[in-house]
Structure 1
Amino acid sequence: MRPATSGTTQPADLVPSTGVSEARLPVLIQGGMGVAVSGWRLARAVARTGQLGVVSGTALDVTLARRLQRGDPGGDLRRALACCPVPELAERVLGRYFVPGGIAPGTPYRPVPRLGLRPSRARDELAVVANFAEVFLAKEGHDGPVGVNYLEKIQLATPAAAYGAMLAGVDYVLMGAGIPAEIPALLDAFAAHRPAEITVAVAEAGDARHTTGLDPAALWPGAAPAEPLRRPRLLAIVSSHVLAAYLARSPVTRPDGFVLETPVAGGHSAPPRGRLVLDERGEPVYGPRDAADTAKVAAIGLPFWLAGGYATPGGAAAARATGAAGIQVGTAFALCRESGLDDGLRRRMLSRARRGALEVRNDPRASPTGFPFKVASLPGTLSEPEVFDRRPRLCDLGYLRTPYVRPGGAIGYRCPAEPVDAYVRKGRPAEEAEGRQCLCNGLTAAIGLGQHRADGYHEPALLTLGQDLGFLDGLPDDHSAADVVDHLLRGALAAHG
């Protein structure tokens, strides 16, 4: 990798050699953790070491809008927006959301346009500007690589978000929580400022195809620039060699590499294959069928990284022994000083984890997506049943809503975390809603941007981490992102002699 700018040891002998590009690949990918846990400060800190820093692209529209309403302390967002290549977009976003000095404590945040199939110029502009600003700030002041992480599950947000990130020169797009088969073509089109669309999964739609897309030319006051954008590499986040082989089978769907996740990785996990069986803790049981065959992934011929349980000094060396280019690590960075987590929550989790008292449960019911989701237990958060029970069920952000066809043909939206009676009226059984958490509001509260409501209610936080916390033994008490990189890659270098 390029020389370190922070004193971090760089294991040049661990830089993999591939035929996909003359550019060197990172050994270490910092995981994209949302909402905004992997913010621009964290991604920039990692990228300054020469490894791949990644910002979470989930809900950047709402995080930008709320930070502007808080007055943009420090002025970083306004500095980024001043560099937006389409200044008219940035000016409109600032006009809608920026509050000099910030809104009064307890004042509700102004809402942002919700995702939907119906086109919305205001929604697209906010997404483009928010993703531009986050990537711009992550790339500012260094030449290290920066990526952005999106969820295939949130298809309605992807086109505008991806174009905004590309306007800022993002180097990698990482995509998980689904099958990103249409993303290569989307990135190709946007690099040439051409319109593009992707298919949206709509329940009860039968054979009808629904799409969402973006025409970049519509965002520019004149014609779109003739000069193309640099097309970022796409890394598909998968849990099986079968899915990797499926995506690689055609040039149309083939990504530029893979991140192969194990079930202990933080956030969402793929469900076990076959019938769901729970252990005595109520967690899904994974077996041999759920283990990805790394030899088969290596045989595809594209670079790949291993994620989930590799945050050890020998983790990168062990991964490379399987043919991987390196590793992806999330939780060690989620608990570092540059993390986007609310600092009080971060310190409390870190203290408990160091004492061996932090429980992280792979909850099969928490996420509205139906995928198992890691929930970290901390008093006062939604991990506590009494806090969950006190929270009124509502779905006002709606990133995980599912579009469906209503009787009569109109499009509706439903989420199992919304009020149960509303969910049932939309044609689904009440038991699907049991135990579901509002990830949108809970994860936004975890970064200190939870909604305040007029009646005094304040959203409680929902916290997620990976289940392997053993990496803490080799790190300082309040570690930095550079400490994590140095710890993991110095050990990897030693393992390679």
Structure 2
Amino acid sequence: MTIAEQPVPGPVRSAAATAEGGLPALIQGGMGVGVSGWRLARSVARTGQLGVVSGVALDVTLARRLQQGDPGGHLRGALAEFPVPAISERILARYYVRDGIEPGAPHRPVPRLGLRPNRARDELAVVANFAEVFLAKRDGGTVGINYLEKIQMATPAAAYGAMLAGVDFVLMGAGIPSQIPRLLDRLAAHLPAEVTVTVAGAEGGERHAVGIDPVALLGRTPEPLVRPRLLAIVSSDVLAGYLARTPETRPDGFVVEAPVAGGHSAPPRGRMRLDETDQPVYGPRDEVNLAKVAALGLPFWLAGGYASRDGLARALEAGAAGVQVGTAFALCRESGLDDKLRRRLLEQAKDGTLRVRNDPHASPAGFPFKVAGLPDTLAAPEVHERRPRLCDLGHLRTPYVKPDGGVGFRCPAEPVDAYLRKGGRLEETEGRRCLCNGLVAAIGLGQHRPDGYQEPPLLTLGQDLDFLGDLPEGYTAADVVAHLLGPGGAPASARAGEDQREGGLPPEGS
């Protein structure tokens, strides 16, 4: 009997899946790599809404922040709370550098995602996700974590780490998260759990999977965990209906995302057509029938262009539980964006010179991806052309079947000749940016190469920036909540004394 066929104790799922109430009107989007970090999610959770951390590449960000000396000691404090101290100690011994590495020194690499078991990789992923959620939940409140279904090889270990820290919601987009309900069921019971991994060129009946055995990893069997609710991020009522059709694939709700939302977006249905600016053209076939989504009987939130009270009112009128907002939070003071980059984005957005393109070519994942056109970033053609093509983080690599029957990995953003040798097509490499390195650089953790080259940042935002005129200079996450929900939406406690709190905000302009 395979892991996928083994039964799951019923009470683990039913206790969490039938929970009533506690649905937020506002979900803070899980953006980029580290843009939705624990500080931002914690600030939103303190207002009574759903704060969300990005779960993408947390193994990389934890390792690099420890190598930078962990200013403030927050990560070391979180690691001290991990239920198996020996695992945390191994992570610290490998990556922590007292006072930080020398400026310009390369960061130590982390194990890359793969299909073969790798204990060091699993330990780092579990601890990194635990730490991010633990810190976000430190003041209480409701916290979620956002994953990309496309990054299948990371999901089991990452989700387990988040669940050990008590994550309340798992949000997943960029694919069809049909395997995730069962994965969460099994992880809540500390049972071995796995997901099937899509491998290009695999024959019918040939299955590849990656998983985690919680008891083997921890060395003991803890008490059962509370299963988080799963929100599937979808862009069509057809996909929502497909997921809701059976208990095995049914999420606990949906985030229905419009094409203007930041990050990855679904391609238009049918043949891809581009406008005069080389952006995908969306039409009537791409409009979501919200009545059909509502008829599924599961709560849903609307995302992409709803960052206003009018947007929230329209969502509620359509039957939604509320809205998800990303860009407004990505530009607030608690955002994980490098502060200089964040301020430049705000300046250009306010003077009307910032352009956010839905680039059909940028992402190695093959989905259209929003790229903010800031000079001196990978959005600029000259910066992109100067960057050596390489793939050393590899979160968006695609597994493929090699001629000898083994499994290899390729990425359209790697050197073109290497990609072609691995069976890739030339047209798949055109215009590809290295999202992994670019998004990590956007939060101040870019890699420094031994030859002196420093990875440039890549910035993503949504295309709706109209909310900026309604927010104060140097606004905070609580200001965004109040802007959307009214003055009573964010309790006074969420605004007062933040500067004095551990991990709080410096004065704007400092």
State the TM-score, normalized to the length of structure 1. Answer: 0.94
> Which whole-Å CA distance do the structure 1 matches of 2:183 and 2:85 have between them?
24
- The match for 1:59 is 57
1:340-382 Cα offsets, whole Å, 9 max, x none, are 0000000000111011111000000000111100000111101
Counterparts in 2 of 1:491 and 1:274: CA distance versus 1, 3 Å: farther
Report the RMSD for the aligned CA atoms in angstroms: 1.1
What pairs up with 1:117-136 in 2 under 5 angstroms?
117-136=115-134
**Residue in structure 1 matched with residue 6 of structure 2 by the alignment:** none
Correspondence for 2:107? 109
Q: Which residue does 1:282 correspond to in 2? A: 278
Task: Determine if contact 1:316/1:492 at 8 Å carries over to the other structure.
Answer: no
One-letter code aligned to 1:76: H
1:82-133 deviation digits (Å, cap 9, x = unpaired): 0001111111100100000100011100000000001100000000000000
Looking at structure 2, the residues matched to 20 and 243 of structure 1 have their Cα atoms a distance apart, in angstroms, of 22
Q: Verify the 8 A CA contact 1:238 1:260 in the aligned structure 2.
A: yes
Aligned partners of 1:354 and 1:37: how far apart in 2?
20
Asked if the contact 1:313–1:492 (Cα under 8 Å) also holds between the matched residues in 2, the reply is no
In the alignment, structure 1 residue 183 sits paired with structure 2 residue 180: yes
For these two proteins, the number of residue pairs brought into alignment is 472
CA distance in 1, matches of 2:67, 2:454: 17
Q: Which of the residues 268, 280, 284 maps onto 1:272?
A: 268
1:490 aligns with 2:486: yes
String of CA shifts for 1:129-171, please: whole Å, max 9, x gaps: 0000000000002x21000000000000000000000000000
Amino acid at match of 1:57: G
Alignment correspondent of 1:218: 216
* Residue of structure 2 in register with 1:7 after alignment: none
Post-superposition offset of 1:438: 0.2
The Cα of 1:23 is off from its aligned counterpart by: 2.9
Q: Are 2:400 and 1:412 equivalent residues in the alignment?
A: no
Query: Residue 442 of structure 1: which of 425, 438, 462 is its match?
Result: 438
SS where residue 309 of structure 2 aligns?
coil
Q: What secondary structure sits across from 2:334 in the alignment?
A: coil
1:314-345 CA distances to partner (integer Å, 9 max, x unpaired)? 11111010000000000000000000000000
Paired residue for 1:3?
none
Match of 1:247 in 2: 243
Q: Distance in 2 between the 1:120 and 1:81 partners?
A: 20
State the SS of the aligned residue for 2:71: coil
Identity across matched positions, percent: 74
Aligned equivalent of 2:198, options 192, 198, 201? 201
Q: Which amino acid aligns with 2:161?
A: G
Offset, 1:21: 2.7
Question: CA–CA distance in 2 between the matches of 1:153 and 1:99?
Answer: 32
Whether the 8 Å CA contact 1:191–1:229 is kept in 2: the answer is yes
Q: Any conservation in 2 of the 1:314–1:492 contact (CA below 8 Å)? A: no
SS in 1 for 2:379: coil
Stretches of structure 2 that go unaligned for 5 or more consecutive residues are 1-16, 490-510
Rounded Cα–Cα distance in structure 2 between residues aligned with 1:154 and 1:106: 30
2:454 pairs, out of 440, 446, 458, with 458
2:352 pairs with 1:334: no
- Distance between the aligned counterparts of 2:354 and 2:49, measured in 1? 29
Query: Alpha-carbon deviation of 1:283?
Result: 0.4
User: For 1:73-472, what aligned pairs fall within 5 Å after superposition?
Assistant: 73-141=71-139, 143-207=140-204, 208-221=206-219, 223-225=220-222, 227-472=223-468
Give the corresponding residue for 1:4.
none
Verify the 8 A CA contact 1:20 1:302 in the aligned structure 2: no
Q: Is 2:80 the partner of 1:71?
A: no
Deviations 1:56-107 (A, max 9, x none): 0000000000000000000000000000011111111001000001000111
Tell me the TM-score normalized by structure 2.
0.92
Partner Cα separation in structure 1 for residue 69 and residue 101 of structure 2 = 7
Q: 1:278: how far off?
A: 0.7
Matched residue of 1:236: which SS?
A: strand
Q: Secondary structure at the match of 2:482?
A: helix
Secondary structure of 1:374's match?
Answer: strand
Does residue 46 of the first structure (1) align with residue 44 of the second (2)? yes
Q: Specify the code of the residue in structure 2 equivalent to 1:345.
A: L
Q: 1:430 Cα shift?
A: 1.2
